[in-house]
Amino acid sequence: MSKRLANTRIIAFSLAFILFITLVIALTMPAMADEKTTLSIEANTTVSADGRSASAEDVPFAINDFVRFNTGTAKAYEGIDYGYRFPMLDANSFAVVVTADSAVIYVPATVAESSWFRPAQQSEKGFTGEDDLTPLISMLAALDSAVSSGGTELSASQRQFILTTTTEYQFKGSLIDFGVEVEPEHYYVTIKPVEGTAGSRITEQAESASQTESASQQESGAQPAIDVQFVLSGHMLAASEVTVVPAVSGFASLQEFLHGIDYRPFWVSLRTSAVAMIFVFILGLLAAHLSLKINSRLKGVLDSFFTIPMVLPPTVCGFLLLVMFGNSTAVGRWLIDHGISLVFSWPAAVLAAIVVSFPLMYRTARGAFEALDPALLDAARTLGWKESRIFTRLMLPLAWPSIAAGTVLAFARAMGEFGATLFVAGNYAGVTQTMPIAIYFQWMGGHSDVATFWVFVVILISFIVILFINWYASHTQRFRQGGADLADDSFQLSADEGISALATVGGAGKPKGAKVKADKRR
C-alpha cells in the first residue's frame, strides 16, 4: 500500500510540474516578445490588442487599420501587365515597401498636407530613425512586430527609411507606383523595372532620376530590380480620431487567450483516436494471432504487409488511401455509387488513424504472444481446450501487460497523425481538423500563439502516455515478482511439511535407524 501511495504521489507531482512549466512559459512568452520588440521601438508607443492601431505620446498622428501583406502577384489583369503588385487598403491609405536594406514609406498628399502630420516636410529624404520620422517608424515597427508571426520584421535590421508623397517613385532601377486601381475598388502597389515603363506615366523628373539611377547601377554592377520582402498598409489619422486599446498582460492575458481558443481540434482528435482504437485493438490482436498459425514463408510476407505503414511516410499512406477510396478506382466508385462518400470526411480521418496506428498494436501483440511458453498452450490443448478458449482465457491474460502498452502507444500515434489525415480527410474545422493539423494551419495563418498552445497540449498528452506505460510496466513487474515469491514460499512450505510427515511416519512404523536416515536426508 505504501509503494502504491508513493507512485501515486510521483505521478501527481509530475503532472503538477508539467502544468506549472506550461503556465510559466505561457505567461513569459508575451513578456519575452515585448522585450524583443522594445529593443528598437520607442517605449512610449502603444499598440492595440488586435495589432491594428498604434499611437505614441506627444505625437499628433496615429495609425489605424494596419495590415501586412507578405506576398503579392505578378498575374496580368485583363491583358494588362502591371508588374509585381501588393494590395493596399484603399486610395487614401499609406504603404511601406520593405526591402532587405531600405523601406520606402508612401503617405498620400492629402495626409501629408494635414497640420497634424509633422514629417511631411522631410519628403523624399533618407533617414535612419534619428530625425522627425522616428515616431512614425516606431509605430510601424511596433505594429509589424505584433503581426509578423515569426517572419522578418521591420525592426530586424538597420534600414534606410525614405518618405515620399508622390504616387510614382524611382528606386534602384524600378518604378514603384502607389494607389493603382487594378480592379474596381481594389488598389495596389505595383513594381516594374524602369525599362518596362517607357511611354507610361513617368514624369520628366522621374525619367531623369531613372537615368541617374541606371548609370550608377551600371557602374556598380547592380541589377535594376528590387527584392520586396513585404508591404505594410493602413490609415494615418489625427491622434484624437484613433482610440488604442492596449492588450492586457499577465494572468489576465492568459485568461483572455484561453477563453478565445477553439477547442474543437482536441475533441476531434480524441473522438477520432477513440473510435480508431476500437478497430485497431480488435484487428491488431486477430492479425497477431493469425501470424502465429501460418507457415514461415507466408508469415514473412504477411508480417511485412501489416508492418509497412509504420515505415512509410504518412503522406504516402494518405495518398494511397486517397487513390484507393477516391473516384479513380473501382472501390471508390462503388462506394460513391452506393452513397458512401469516404474521402474528405470524418470517417476518412478515422481510417487514416487506423492505418498508421495498426502496426504498433500488431507488433506489440505479436511479440507478447511469441514470448509465451508453448508448453502452457500445449498443456491446455491436452486438456481439451478449444483454440478460441486458449486465446481468450490463457493467451490474452498472460500477454495483457504488453497488449495494454501497445494499445496506449497506438492511441497516442493516432492522436498525433498529420500527413495521412490531411491527405485523405482534409482540413475542416470541427470535422476533420485534429490538433496536429490545427498546429500547422494556425502557424501558417500567423497565429503562432495558438499553434504553441496546441504544441504544449500534444507534448502533455505524450508525456502522460509514456508515464502511464512506465507505471503500468513497473506495477505489473512487481505483481509478477510478488507472485513468484509467493509460489516459492508455498513450494518450500509444502516441501517442509512433506519431510516432516515422512519423518513422523518413519518414527511410528519403522525401525529407529530409518528415522535417523530420514533426519539426515532432511
pLDDT digits (tens, 9 = 90+) for 381-398: 999 999 889 999 999 999
Tell me if 520 is assigned to some domain.
no
Task: Tell whether 159 and 295 lie within a shared domain.
Answer: no
Task: Tell whether 226 and 340 lie within a shared domain.
Answer: no
Task: Tell whether 274 and 352 lie within a shared domain.
Answer: yes
Least confident of 170-179, 244-253, 509-518: 509-518
| Greatest mean pLDDT range, 224-233, 434-443, 489-498 | 434-443
Average pLDDT, the chain: 79
> CATH number, domain at 477?
1.10.3720.10
Q: What is the pLDDT of residue 485?
A: 52
Tell me if 2 is assigned to some domain.
no
**Is it the case that residue 190 has pLDDT exceeding 90?**
yes
Residues near 519 by Cβ (< 8 Å), separated by ≥ 6?
Answer: 503
Q: What is the pLDDT of residue 6?
A: 58
**Is it the case that residue 376 has pLDDT exceeding 60?**
yes
Instruction: Kindly state the average pLDDT of the residues 53-63.
Output: 90
Helix, coil or strand: residue 181: strand
Q: What is the pTM for the complete model shown?
A: 0.63
Task: Tell whether 152 and 268 lie within a shared domain.
Answer: no
- The length of the chain in residues reads 522
Cα→Cα distances 42→33, 98, 220, 249, Å: 15, 20, 36, 19
**Is it the case that residue 263 has pLDDT exceeding 60?**
yes
Query: What is the edge-to-edge ordering of all strands in the sheet holding 230-238?
Result: 45-47, 54-56, 61-69, 230-238, 94-98, 102-106, 160-164, 126-127
Tell me if 491 is assigned to some domain.
no
Tell me if 509 is assigned to some domain.
no
Task: Tell whether 87 and 216 lie within a shared domain.
Answer: yes
What does the alpha-carbon distance between residue 68 and residue 445 come to, in Å, rounded to a whole number? 12
Task: Tell whether 169 and 265 lie within a shared domain.
Answer: no
- The residue ranking higher by pLDDT, 319 or 9, is 319
Residues near 100 by Cβ (< 8 Å), separated by ≥ 6?
Answer: 157, 227, 229
Range of the domain at 369: 261-483
Tell me if 267 is assigned to some domain.
yes
Q: What is the pLDDT of residue 506?
A: 45
**Is it the case that residue 197 has pLDDT exceeding 90?**
no
- Final residue of a structural domain among 227, 258, 289: 258
**Is it the case that residue 132 has pLDDT exceeding 80?**
no
Q: What is the pLDDT of residue 116?
A: 75
Task: Tell whether 323 and 355 lie within a shared domain.
Answer: yes
Tell me if 94 is assigned to some domain.
yes
- pLDDT grade for 501, boundaries at 50, 70 and 90: very low
**Is it the case that residue 510 has pLDDT exceeding 60?**
no
Task: Tell whether 471 and 326 lie within a shared domain.
Answer: yes
Task: Tell whether 75 and 188 lie within a shared domain.
Answer: yes
Tell me if 3 is assigned to some domain.
no
Instruction: Identify which of 464, 470, 443, 465 has the alpha carbon closest to the alpha carbon of residue 455.
Output: 443
Instruction: Kindly state the average pLDDT of the residues 432-461.
Output: 91
- Cβ distance 80 to 70 under 8 Å? no
**Is it the case that residue 359 has pLDDT exceeding 70?**
yes
What does the alpha-carbon distance between residue 29 and residue 250 come to, in Å, rounded to a whole number? 10
Task: Tell whether 313 and 420 lie within a shared domain.
Answer: yes
Task: Tell whether 424 and 354 lie within a shared domain.
Answer: yes
As for how many domains the chain has, the answer is: 2
Q: What is the pLDDT of residue 502?
A: 40
Tell me if 495 is assigned to some domain.
no
User: Residue 112: what residue type?
Assistant: A
Task: Tell whether 170 and 241 lie within a shared domain.
Answer: yes
